[in-house]
Amino acid sequence: MADNSNYTEDNIRSLDWKEHIRMRPGMYIGKLGDGSSADDGIYILMKEVIDNCIDEFVMGNGKKIEIKVKDGTVSVRDYGRGIPLGKVVDVVSKINTGGKYDSKAFKKSVGLNGVGTKAVNALSSHFMVYAVRDGEKKKAVFQRGELLEDPKIEKTSEKNGTYVEFYPDEEVFKKFNFKVPYIEKMVWNYCYLNRGLSIYLNGNKFQSKDGLKDLLENNQDGDPLYPIIHLEGEDIEVALTHGRTYGEDYYSFVNGQHTTQGGTHQSAFRESVARVIKDFYNKSYESSDVRQSIVAAIAVKVMEPVFESQTKTKLGSQDIEPGGKSMRAFVNDFLKTKLDNYLHKHQDVAEILEKKIKQSEKERKELSGIRKIARERAKKASLHNKKLRDCRVHFTDLKNDRREETTLFITEGDSASGSITKSRDVNTQAVFSLRGKPLNSYGLTKKVVYENEEFNLIQAALDIEDDMDNLRYNKIVIATDADVDGMHIRMLLLTFFLRFFPDLVKRNHVYVLQTPLFRVRNKKKTKYCYSEDERRKAVKEIGKSAEITRFKGLGEISPDEFKHFIGEDIRLEPVMLSKGASIDEVLSFYMGKNTPSRQEFIMDNLRVEKDLEKAILEENMESDNIDKAS
């Protein structure tokens, strides 16, 4: 019989709005993170604030937004109508309070649940808001959702609009750090989708003239095969071309929200673009051949959009508006008219496109036999060679709360993989062990992916042979030694990913594991240092009794110590391509012929390593207590 003696009225508790947000932040902003991933919580906080400014612009109020990020503090100022002064406190501190419930005022807005700025407020150790309307200003200051200052309305000469300033709470976001490239990408996306809007980030102006066409031009890897096709209609905008790399690359948006995980609109586009192009040529081409190397962007506006999570990264709406035309029919009808007309009017583009499709078809058929053999080989290898120590949860487990944590460490050698394997979280962390240095795949065709055992097994482990949607791990972490050989292996792996699976990098799935270079300790204290500067500070803090160990390889770090470096304190450096960078140019510099500029680059970096070794040696000689294991 069940014991109910401990289940009383005292067990029933009601949380106020800020307590619930702080206790369950994932429900409101997705994962937390430290800023190393583009979808970490600190960027979602920024987005929630900026979204309100964008909604003002869309309604025709204010053409400028100013954003500043300095020392962890973010400020956002728009020049819209300003929050009604009597509601400034309520709008940022009372759940389900806002102006977006009036569907006439915010017909196609992103944030319809009245939660956004409340979450920012509750998850910030400092939060300040003020609104200006017609010469009057109302300000409020909060700390973790608690109202600290609520001064009366005052006179001002400032222009109308709203100002929000916040500092993410370090109790929630451990050791967070804003990465400017992620913020710039977010800002650019806002500009592409809102032509006529000017955004100033730390004083630098961002603006777009041609919308999604600008997006593709600024993110294109080298010259496209044909000029970007730019199509616009009511509540829909599309830009597309074909590039010179493998895979399919999509940028999709709903009501100004970047849906990084796609959704019904992106699926409808993929399906419809293949169908319309096949119908145009009146050929039964494979859809995968039509879409091979496609680079496209689609933005739609939806009435009352339904997303699959609070972070709004995947659209779930089946219709363009409640009870209206289906998303599939809406996108297909648009492309059937606009894209078909474009191809009829531009026969030169149509010829280039069909030639590309035939090339993809030819390569697919040539690889079909090799792929079958490689698939069987991969199955046997994974069973018998144990190169992959898998985890229990995978990125494809859509209903699992820990899917975002899934990580595959790619390591070199048995000792390093052994240390990580013994230290890892078996639920979310997998380990793939390399045997020797991978092949330099620069300039090679995809045939090498199947014929080379290491590459074939990595591809099989990730399950990305046919579709990125099957990716089994959210993070792919290159874990190599911090020496010349380790750097070389790192470059060879990055060449492989950039050459054949560039979407993994573009979608922020690839990282480099940062491991400590030094351990500084005495009997009472141990500090792990990731740089020469950190080492100096640690020695100064611990004192003359400091014992310094220089880690030269991952295999030298014991499993007990490794737990720190792949657990809560993990440091990951995301692999990012700078704006306008060409993958081919990057690979040509690092992996192509040995040019004078590359020789100079290598010599400069080797000199840094030699200087580091010299400094350590000199310091070691000054103390008899130093561990000279290095």
Show me where the domains of the chain are located.
17-206, 212-354, 385-515+552-592
Tell me: pLDDT of 312 over 80: no
Whether residue 306 has pLDDT greater than 70 = yes
What is the full DSSP assignment across 569-614?
T-EEEE--PPTT--HHHHHHHHHSS--HHHHHHHHHHHHHHHHHHH
Residue 206's beta-bridge partner residues?
A: 199
Question: How far is 155 from 427, CA to CA, in rounded Å?
Answer: 58
% the chain with pLDDT above 90:
37
- For residue 78, the SS3 value is strand
Indicate if the pLDDT at residue 293 is higher than 80: yes
Look up residue 512 and give its DSSP letter: E
**CB 394, CB 473: distance < 8 Å:** yes
* 212-354, CATH topology level: Ribosomal Protein S5; domain 2 (3.30.230)
- Kindly report, residue by residue over 158-202, the tens digit of the pLDDT: 999 999 999 999 988 888 999 998 999 999 999 999 999 999 999
Average pLDDT, the chain: 83
Q: Give me the sign of the Cα torsion angle 82, 85, 89, 94.
A: negative
Q: Which residues contact 26 (CB under 8 A, 6 or more apart)?
A: 32, 401
Residue appearing with tokens 């959702």: 145
Q: Read off the tokens for 234.
A: 């009511």
Greater confidence, 399 or 594? 399
**pLDDT of res. 624:** 43
pLDDT at 609: 47
- The winner for highest mean pLDDT among 333-347, 472-486, 515-529 is 333-347
- Classify domain 385-515+552-592 by CATH number: 3.40.50.670
Residues 115-143 have a mean pLDDT of 92
Residue, of 133 and 604, whose pLDDT is higher:
133
Please give the pLDDT value at position 107.
58
- Per-residue pLDDT reduced to its tens digit, 261-271: 888 999 999 99
Half-sphere exposure of 391 (CA within 13 A, CB side): 30
pTM of the model: 0.76
Instruction: Say if residue 628's pLDDT is above 50.
Output: no
**The predicted structure's pLDDT at residue 558:** 80
Whether 17-206 shares its CATH topology with 385-515+552-592 is answered no
pLDDT value of position 626? 43
How far apart are the C-alpha atoms of 188 and 474, rounded to whole Å?
24
SS3 string of 209-245?
Answer: CCCHHHHHHHHCCCCCCCCCEEEEECCEEEEEEECCC
Other beta carbons within 10 Å of 357: 23
pLDDT tens per residue across span 225-249: 999 999 999 999 999 999 888 888 8
Q: What is the DSSP secondary structure assignment for residue 133, as one 8-state letter?
A: E
Res 625 pLDDT > 50: no
pLDDT for res 94: 77
Helix or strand holding residue 519 (H, E)? strand 518-521
Q: What percent of the chain has pLDDT over 70?
A: 84
Dist. CA 145–CA 119, nearest whole Å: 9
Which pLDDT value is given to residue 58?
A: 84
Backbone angles phi, psi at 388, to 5 degrees: -110, 120
CB 555 within 8 A of CB 413: yes
Q: How far is CA 501 from CA 56, 121, 470, 471, 497, in A?
A: 39, 39, 13, 11, 5
d(CA 144, CA 247): 44
The CA–CA distances, whole Å, from 120 to 74, 125, 198, 335 equal 11, 10, 24, 39
Residue 417 scores a pLDDT above 50: yes
Q: Are 300 and 235 in contact (CB under 8 A)?
A: yes
**More confident: 207 or 600:** 207
Least confident interval from 8-22, 33-47, 101-115: 101-115
- Stated length of the chain: 630
Domain 17-206: give its CATH architecture.
2-Layer Sandwich (3.30)
- In angstroms, the CA 541 to CA 529 distance is 12
Between CA 479 and CA 158 the distance in angstroms is: 52
Provide the angle, in degrees to the nearest 10, between the axes of the packed helices 583-591 and 596-622. 60
- 165 and 126 in contact (C-beta within 8 Å)? yes
